[in-house]
Amino acid sequence: MMVYFFQSLSTIGLVLLVSKIMLRERIVIIKDLSILIGLTSFIVLIESILKIKESSLGGLFLLGLFVYFFLSNKKVLINILSLSISMIIAILSDILSMTVLSVFIQSSVLEAERFRNNPLLYFVSLILMFVFSCSIALALRKLIGKREQMVRAIRSRELPSFVGLLAMGLFLFLYWLTFSVTSYTTISRAILLVIMTVIVSAILIAALFFVKSRTSIIELKSKENELEQLMMYTREIETMHKEIRKFKHDYINILASLSGYIEAKDMNGLRAYFEDKIVMVSQKNENIDMTLDRLSYLEQLELKGLFALKVLRAQDAGISVLIQIVENIRIDMDIVELCRVIGIFMDNAIEAAENTTNPKITIAVIKRSDRVMVVISNTVKDMPPIYKLRENGFTSKGKQRGLGLEIVRDILRKYENITNDLKYENDTFTQILEIFNYT
């Protein structure tokens, strides 16, 4: 009974320790220890009352730990995730320590199981297990990065991999249960194996289907968006052309009447006509909106469409937009990610410029010998301190917003050859994206 209590205590303690490491939480010795002993005694007590032998109730302690973590940090997803990761780590290090031990005492792994009854060997294997699992956990923690990032990654994109991880945790747990519980007969082990294979493959298949349906929906949506943007762009270009044709028509007419005045040698009439018509026409010429025309230099259709859409939206909101592109440009970056970044910059620019007295957005795409620069600047009122814009979750727009710049940073983190500078001067805010040629 005491031995069994100690065994359970060490197992639960290990999982608790590893998940604490994964959660990046401080270890409070008294509190954690009392929870640990309490939980273990509770489980051992229940098992002895119900006369259930060995760790069949192992799942119960996971639940207990989850409740304990949930009470302290009020998070669901992250707790489940780190508990299942901890489970995987614990089981892996158990197997690892057994293997190492069996090498040293020169026996097979299965035989090593028996040495658990030898207190000294059991103790050594336990220490090995702790060392292995703590180092795996620390390495993993470093790899994963901040826990907020982990949660965000799971929520936004990688839900399926989360499910996969859970499935793997479950699989390993059941696997461990099957072989570590010595009281099971061969038949019950076989049945357990079949059951767990069915469960795990069902989860995996479901996850796969989920991934597939999700990606196809996303693809469809982005295609639709692209089409819409391009259609708007074409429509705008068409109206521009119509206006230019009209102007050309006017201009030929004017030339014809000018030659009429000259033939009649009517200098006064000519002067009056010139001042009246020509000046007016040249003014009219200025009114033709050639803004979008500049976008034709962008070689990537998706980017062209995106800019056209955002520029039209800005103009609708009463913002004057100036586009400065003077040469053919192709940007060497994953086009979907590029469009996301530019889209966020443009949305922010529009939102900030809208509230200013003289709203203006300037876009420049510039090619230099070693880089391409995308510069988006907008007028701004009540600018927050510039460093706030790089802080996670900062927003000047209320709840559920302001994720944009965070997404931008997440995307750009992957690219070593891209830098993103921010500048604020003369009531103008500027985002500069520089994509360097070298990789």
Partner 1 sequence: MIDIFICEDDQMQLEQLGKMIENHILIENFDMQIKVKTQYPDEILDHIVDNKTSNIYFLDVDLKTNINGIELAEKIRRNDPRGFIIFVTTHDEMSPLTFKYKVEALDYIIKGNAKEISYQILQCLLNIDSKTSIASPQLMKRFNLRTKDKTVNLNFEEIYFFETASSAHKVAMHCKTQIVEFNGSLNDIEAQLDDRFVRCHRSYVVNIQHIAEINHNKKILSLHNGQTCLLSSRGLKMLKARMTSIFPHPLGQ
Distance between CA atoms of residues 149 and 144, nearest Å: 8
**Residue 423 found at the interface with partner 1 (CB under 8 A):** yes
- Of 387, 398, 399, 439, the one binding partner 1 by CB under 8 A: 387
* Inter-residue contact 393 to 354 (CB < 8 Å): no
* Inter-residue contact 90 to 133 (CB < 8 Å): yes
Stretch that binds partner 1, among 49-57, 181-189, 222-230, 369-377 (CB under 8 A): 369-377
- Of 377, 402, 405, 408, the one binding partner 1 by CB under 8 A: 377
**Residue 370 found at the interface with partner 1 (CB under 8 A):** yes
**Residue 424 found at the interface with partner 1 (CB under 8 A):** yes
| Distance of closest approach, residue 325 Cβ to partner 1, in angstroms | 8
**Residue 394 found at the interface with partner 1 (CB under 8 A):** no
Other CB atoms within a 10 A radius of the CB of residue 298 amount to 21
| Number of residues located near partner 1, criterion CB under 8 A | 37
Q: At how many degrees (to 10) do helices 186-263 and 159-180 cross?
A: 170
| Distance of closest approach, residue 369 Cβ to partner 1, in angstroms | 8
**Residue 407 found at the interface with partner 1 (CB under 8 A):** no
| Distance of closest approach, residue 392 Cβ to partner 1, in angstroms | 10
Give the residue from 221, 408, 231, 431 showing the smallest Cα distance to 333.
408
Closer by beta carbon to partner 1, 128 or else 374? 374
- Draw the binding track, 298-327, toward partner 1 (x: CB under 8 A; -: no contact): ------------------------x-xxx-
- Of 263, 316, 382, 425, the one binding partner 1 by CB under 8 A: 425
> CA dist 281 to 106, 149, 236, 253, 287, Å?
98, 58, 22, 11, 10
Distance between CA atoms of residues 177 and 58, nearest Å: 8
Other CB atoms within a 10 A radius of the CB of residue 338 amount to 21
Say which residues have a Cβ less than 8 Å from residue 172's Cβ, sequence separation at least 6: 87, 88, 91, 92
- State which of positions 247-266 bind partner 1 (CB under 8 A): none
Closer by beta carbon to partner 1, 80 or else 314? 314
- Name residue, tokens 């997803």: 77
**Residue 291 found at the interface with partner 1 (CB under 8 A):** no
* Inter-residue contact 437 to 371 (CB < 8 Å): yes
Q: Which residues sit at the interface with partner 1, rule CB under 8 A? A: 322, 324-326, 362, 364, 366-371, 373, 375, 377, 385-387, 389-390, 409, 412-417, 419-425, 432, 434, 436
